[in-house]
Structures are given as C-alpha cells and as structure tokens.
A and B are shown apart, each in its own frame.
Chain A
C-alpha cells in the first residue's frame, strides 16, 4: 500500500459518518428555526466543529449561538445575575419550543440544563455517555461585531468571536485541501495522548491553525505540525480572536508537549523512511503515531516491535531498522 492510500483509508475511518452528519445538521437546523422564530432572537447560527467542518465522529454534540435583541433585554450584558438570567431564559425557550412533552416546534429535548456558557440540551437519555446534545449559547452582538456571552460562574459576560475561528478555518481550507481532514486526524490523535485530564479539541484546532503548513503532502505537513507544535505549545494556546486568553488553562502542557515531541521524532523518521523507499517501515511508524486504525503494511514479513527492531545477534532475525549509511559525496 502506498503512503497516500494509507492516509486516505485512515481518513475514512476518522471522518464523520455521512448519515450521522446529516442527522446532526437536521437537528441543528431544527434548533435554529425554532429559536429564530422567537421575537427577541435576532440571529441563530451554528458554531463549533460542525460549522467549521472539523468534527470528529461520532458527532454527538452541536453548538448553536442565539443572539438576543439588546433592546428587549436591556439589563443583560453587565456583571451580576443577568448572565444566569440569560441562560435561564434560553432554557425556558428551548423547553417551550422543543420540549419532550409539549414543544411547539418539536419534541426533541428531554432535558435542558444551564451550564457555564450555554444551555446543554439532551436529546437522548442524559445518562447515555454517547447521547446527542445541543449546546445553545445565548449571546449579545456588540458594536464591533464580536459577541458577549454569559459566564455563570463569574457572574459576568465575556467577549467572544466564534465567527473569527470559522473564517480562519475556512480560509485555510481554501488554501490547502488537506487542512480540515488533518485537523480531524489530530483531534482523533489527541484521544490517545498520555495526559492528565483531557485535551480540548479547540486546543488542537488552534494549534493546527498556527502550526500546520499551507501546502505539501500530508506526511510532511504532519511532520511539520508536530515539530512546530512541540515548540509552540510551550507558549500556551490562546484564543485566536485574542479575546478569551488561554483556551485551557488547566491543560497538562507537559504531557501534550512530550506527546508532540515524540510524534515529531517518529514522523521525521517516517518521512525519511518513505523518502528512502522503505514504505512498509514508513507505514509502521505512522501507525505508531496515529494508532491501530492506520493501515498496517500489507504483508508483514518481519516480526513485531517494528521501531526498536529485534537484536539480530540474539534472535537471529535482522533488525528492522538498520542505520542509514551516509553518502560519500563531499561538497566544497
């Protein structure tokens, strides 16, 4: 199998299921239609990875932003209880519009709970870990075009610009066809990274915006991404709209940095192997980086443990990686 074929096959395993995406979009649109019918809602649009087309399967959450008319909620937008009020207001609307028992627009929502920034709407059993949820985030449009969103914990409203990220991702995709697919690959990769806690998918998406090249093939782009990120992540990952500061202050940066550095090393070796015509070796290395869903070489003729190789003297089998001799071609 060629390297690019392996990447194609892996990509298919990472990409979202078409049927699932359609269902997610339908549910998103149902929420949008219902919310925009409200007299105090001026805009309702999707944000999050579904909107940016960087979603990973299974898609079980969708983000909706409902922008409210400030003239109808003059007390919103300032510190105090109005942040919580806005979330409660949105929850009431969702229940009235889409509640299980007597929603006027549908009967999708079993439970709606206000969280810190958004109302989490459960469309399946709330105890089902893979249940489908829709996050409805109330917001106010500011004069400069950015949004103010409620923050229940701090009893305040904070600036946000999710549309900026949507635009950035769309621009990068226009420049280079592999951008969105590789962001999905990296979001998948992060699940197997040995870190304390979890890595927010937005961290990976912003790192990709910062460190992914805008041209080239997928292996060399991933190699560059891992190399650059392993250095760049030490500078902390911040909101690209420069509004909210650090995206995940409690992130295990040491763990992520170590994982990126390891991946950079393996990717460098994978690219060198591919350049030397050692396709199987390259595939094994990519599998080590990206996990078992990455296609293995078609017919492994050598025993396992491909990276270190078996000590030839002890087992009698040749090492899988033999040191590459340097070319004798002096330059003046």
Chain B
C-alpha cells in the first residue's frame, strides 16, 4: 500500500497541532491519496491533490479515513527498521507511547495513520528517515506503509545546482516542424528546461503519423502543434509552449516578424524548400538555426548548425560544397525558388531512430545557446553532425560511417560568392 501525501497536506500537518483526522481516496491498486485534513479542533478541509488525481478519478474509488499524529523522532527510526522486514509491526503500546496526544484505538478494521516527527534529522542525523511516514494501525499493532510526500518544489528548478536552469528558462526557441522528429525535439527541449517554445507546423495528426510521432492516438485529427503543446504543458509545466498553425513557406512573413524574439530556430520540417526558407529567415534575423533530418531513407541522421557568422555558409552553400565533392546528390529542388519543388517523401525511418536524431538536434540547440552564455562544457565538436542509424556500405565521404551508432562532426564551410542568403542585403 502506498499513500500519496500532497504538499498542501504535508504543510498542514507540519504546522498544525498534535493530531487531527484525514480522509483519503484509494483505488484497487493499493494506492491512496489524501483528500482532506483536519486539525484537532477544526473541520476537515479539502486538499488540492495534484498527484494521483487522474488515477483515482479513472478507477472505482474507495473512501477511507484515518488520523495523523505528531510523534517523537524515535518512532520513525522504528518505522525505518520494521519497514525492511516483511510482516513486522510495532506493538500498539509502543506506537501509542510516542504520540504527543490524541491516540485513537483501532476497531475491528485497521485505520490508516500518518505520523510527523519534527526535528528528526537533529535527533537521528544518520538514520535518513523521512519526517512523515505512514502506518496501518490494527489491533495487533502498527504496520509500516510506504508513503510519498510531494516536495514543495517540483520541476526543473530541482536540478538548478547541476544544470543552468536559469539561463534556459529565459531562452526562447522556435521549432519549425512538429512531425516525428519535431515532436521528439520539442519534448527534449522542454526536458532541458527551455523556458519558451514556439511550435510551427500547418499539419494535422493522422493515423499514419502515430507510428513515429510522440503524440497519442486520442489527438488524431487535431493540429500537431496544438496537441503537442497540450501534452508538453502537462508533462513539462516549466516550458511555455505557443502553438502556431502556420506554414513556414506560405506564412514566411509572419515567421519573419516572430524570429527576432527567438534565440534560436530549430527546423525539423521535411522538404528542401521549408528548410531553406527557415535557414534564410534565421540568418536575416541574426540568430542560429539548427536543422535536423534523416537522409538515405532514414539510414543516416544529420544535424546542421547554421550560425549567422561571416565565415559560415548557409544551408545552400554547405549543400553545394558537399555536392561538388561528390558527397551528396543535390536535391532536384535545391535551385528551385521558395515555395516550389518537392515537399514530401514517404518517411521510411523507424520512430526511435528519428527520436535519436531529434534528441541530438535538441542537444545541439541547447549547447549552442549555452556556449554563447559562457558554458565551456557545452561546446560541440563541429557544425555538421552525422549519425549512422542503419549502416550503409560504400557511401561517399563524409557520409562513410562504418557502423551503426557512429557519429561524426564536420566543420562549417564558408559562404559562396553571390549567395543571396549569406551576402548582406
């Protein structure tokens, strides 16, 4: 049996008098959550139960009641000791002896109890026992139960001593493309603690997307960005997500006005034209762009980092440099104007391979932001990352990765003379 103690209930118990009542709701998975707490002479008031709420609403619930007591610290040391032994209990007389007041004798059916031991770490610094623990109190004694107390702070700020949370919470990334790579990228960016995420994609979620997309079946038919924003907000409340049902090519003017508010744009859109437009707009806005895609029917993952630096060429310039060295077959649409050329190819990669590329893209974006803020541990080995997802023999360099899982980073290539993106307008 596990008892969830919401933070609000724990705070009440820690501040109130020596004892009180509590009401719980449980389900048939041996899980209960505290829904109300009373103090000795007060009425029971409801507790905001963020944990366990959905779970209890979804299954047939069981009401229960119990008591909480303020106790001497040594009782929690006993709790720790008997917890490790199956079927072991604390005799009722011992349990009662350590309460400060308010003991309720158990009837024929046992009741649930929480005990709170103030100054526990002062009294027993080495015992590592929690200050709130749970019991099932029956006529034959008090059995230890597991309980989880919700901490006062949850979310990304918990790791701020080990990760530059503050720097990332103020950062703003625009993600163009919310498909299979894009959805996983969005999750990864939020996992890193990006404060603001703008999602751009015109498409709706369809049945055939489900095999690779992170969004669940119940969102089929909705805009990918709206569904993704909802799921992310639920999962990573530290990230503010703005969904925009826009097409980067058709709505380039809207995107152009939004880009200066972003610190970086990450493009996972498929189609050469969308990638070129994104790269062009980012360079004009003076912000870095990270492009993620798979090549060769999903055998090879590719991350391109395009920083708006004079010595770094744009997407087109890099592609042409590769093509001239026989590394890549130029896309037929490469020389086509914006908004023309091929758009979709059937995606042949498996979901987790795409998500692997997505996570590397998110890492690249985060590292780019953090390096610029002075974090030396986030410098990347290059501007162009390749990862072999399914090894293909006899590929031309630099795509000649020998084994699945191998990664390679290449430097930037310079802009080409006359490039309409690289040369200042």
Nearest B residue to A222, CB-CB? B374
Minimal Cβ-Cβ distance residue in A for B308:
A235
B377 contacts chain A at the CB level, 8 A cutoff = yes
Q: Is B374 in contact with A228, judged by CB distance below 8 angstroms?
A: yes
Chain B CB within 8 A of A152 CB? no
For residue A136, CB closer than 8 A to chain B, the reply is no
Q: Chain B contacts of A213 at CB under 8 A?
A: 374
- How many residues of chain A are within 8 Å of chain B by beta carbon? 19
In the complex, whether A109 has a CB less than 8 A from a CB of chain B is no
Give the distance in Å from the alpha carbon of A236 to the alpha carbon of B307 in the complex.
13
Q: Is there an interface contact between A228 and B372, defined as CB atoms closer than 8 Å?
A: yes
| Interface presence of B347 (CB below 8 A) | no
Contact pick for A267, options B309, B371, B376, CB 8 Å: B376
Inter-chain contacts of B376 with A (CB < 8 A): 223-224, 226-227, 264-265, 267-268
Contact check: which of A223, A225, A232, A265 meets B372 at CB < 8 Å?
A232
Cβ-defined contact, B374 with A234, below 8 A:
no
User: In the complex, which of the residues A225, A226, A231, A264 has the most CB atoms of chain B within 10 Å of its own CB atom?
Assistant: A231
Interface residues of B in 251-307 (CB under 8 A from A): 286, 307
B373 within 8 A of A: yes
B377 near A225 (CB under 8 angstroms)?
no
- Closest CB of chain B to A180's CB: distance in Å? 19
On whether the beta carbons of A234 and B309 are closer than 8 Å, the reply is yes
Q: Is the CB of B286 within 8 A of A235?
A: yes
Cα-based distance from A224 to B370 in the complex (angstroms): 10
CA distance A253 to B309 in the complex (A): 11
Count of chain A to chain B residue pairs whose CB atoms are closer than 8 Å in the complex = 40
Tell me which of A225, A236, A265 contacts B374 (CB under 8 A): A225
Assess the B371–A228 pair: CB atoms within 8 A: yes
Q: Is B105 an interface residue (CB 8 A)?
A: no
Query: Is A183's beta carbon under 8 Å from chain B?
Result: no
Contact status B374-A235, CB under 8 Å: no
A211 part of interface (Cβ distance < 8 Å)? yes
Complex formed: what's the CA distance from A228 to B373 in Å?
A: 5
Closest to B368 in A: A231
Q: Which residue of A lies closest to B288 (CB)?
A: A231
B358-394 vs A, CB cutoff 8 Å, 1 = contact: the mask equals 0000000000000111111101000000000000000
Question: In the complex, what's the smallest C-beta–C-beta distance from B366 to chain A, in angstroms?
Answer: 14
> Are A234 and B371 interface neighbours, CB within 8 A?
no
Minimum-distance CB pairs A-B, first 8: A224-B374, A228-B374, A234-B309, A268-B376, A227-B376, A227-B374, A231-B372, A231-B371
Contact present for A223 and B374 (CB under 8 Å): yes
Q: Provide a sorted-by-A list of 10 A–B residue pairs whose CB atoms are within 8 angstroms.
A: A213-B374, A223-B376, A227-B375, A227-B376, A231-B371, A231-B372, A232-B372, A234-B311, A235-B309, A264-B379
Which residues of B sit under 8 angstroms from A227, Cβ to Cβ? 371, 374-376, 379
Please measure, in the bound complex, the distance between the C-alpha atom of A253 and the C-alpha atom of B310, giving whole angstroms. Answer: 10
CB-based contact B377/A234 at 8 Å: no
Taking CB atoms, residues of chain B closer than 8 Å to A235 are 286, 308-309
Separation of A234 and B307 alpha carbons in the complex (Å): 9
Q: What residues on B are CB-neighbors of A253 within 8 Å? A: 310
Closest A residue to B286 using CB positions: A235
Decide if the interface of chain B is mainly helix, strand, loop or mixed.
loop
Cα A130 to Cα B308 with chains together (Å): 41
B293 to chain A, nearest CB (A): 24
Interface residues in A130-183 by Cβ distance below 8 A to B read none
In the complex, the chain B residue whose C-beta lies closest to that of A265 is B376
Residues from 313 to 366 in B contacting A, C-beta threshold 8 Å? none
Residue of B nearest to A212 (CB): B374
CA gap between A223 and B310 in the complex, in Å: 25
Q: Mark each residue of chain A from 200 to 242: 1 if its CB lies under 8 Å from any CB of chain B, else 0.
A: 0000000000010100000000011111100110111000000
Residues in B neighbouring A236, C-beta threshold 8 A: 310
Contact assessment for B307 and A211 in the assembled complex, using a CB-CB cutoff below 8 Å: no
Given the complex of chains A and B, what is the CA–CA distance between A227 and B379 in angstroms? 9
Residue of A224, A232, A267 touching B375 (CB-CB under 8 A): A224
**251-304 of chain A: CB within 8 A of chain B:** 253-254, 264-265, 267-268
Residues of A within 8 A of B373 (CB): 224, 228
Closest residue of B by beta carbon distance from A224: B374
Given contacts A224-B374, A224-B376, A226-B376, 18 further A-B contacts (CB under 8 A): A213-B374, A223-B374, A225-B374, A227-B374, A227-B379, A228-B371, A228-B372, A228-B373, A228-B374, A231-B372, A232-B372, A234-B307, A234-B311, A235-B286, A235-B308, A254-B311, A264-B376, A268-B377
Q: Which chain A residues border B372 with CB–CB below 8 Å? A: 228, 231-232
Residues of B within 8 A of A267 (CB): 376
A230 CB, min distance to chain B CBs, angstroms: 8
With most chain A CB atoms within 10 A of its CB, the pick from B311, B312, B379 is B379
In angstroms, how far is the closest chain B Cβ from the Cβ of A221? 9
Q: Which residues of chain A come closer than 8 Å to B311, judged between CB atoms? A: 234, 254
Residues in A whose Cβ lies below 8 Å from that of B377 = 268
Shortest distance between the CB of B372 and any CB in chain A (Å):
5
In this complex, what residue of B is CB-closest to A221?
B374
B370 to chain A, nearest CB (A): 9
Beta-carbon nearest neighbor of B379 in chain A: A227
Contact call A234/B310, Cβ cutoff below 8 A: yes
CA–CA, A65 and B377, complex, Å? 44
| CB <8 Å contact, B374 and A211 | yes
- Say how far B324's CB is from chain A's closest CB, in angstroms: 24
Q: How many angstroms from the CA of A130 to the CA of B374 in the assembled complex?
A: 36
What residue of chain A has the Cβ atom nearest to residue B377's Cβ?
A268
Task: Tell me the complex Cα distance, A268–B375, Å.
Answer: 9
Which partner residue on chain B sits nearest A268 by CB separation? B376
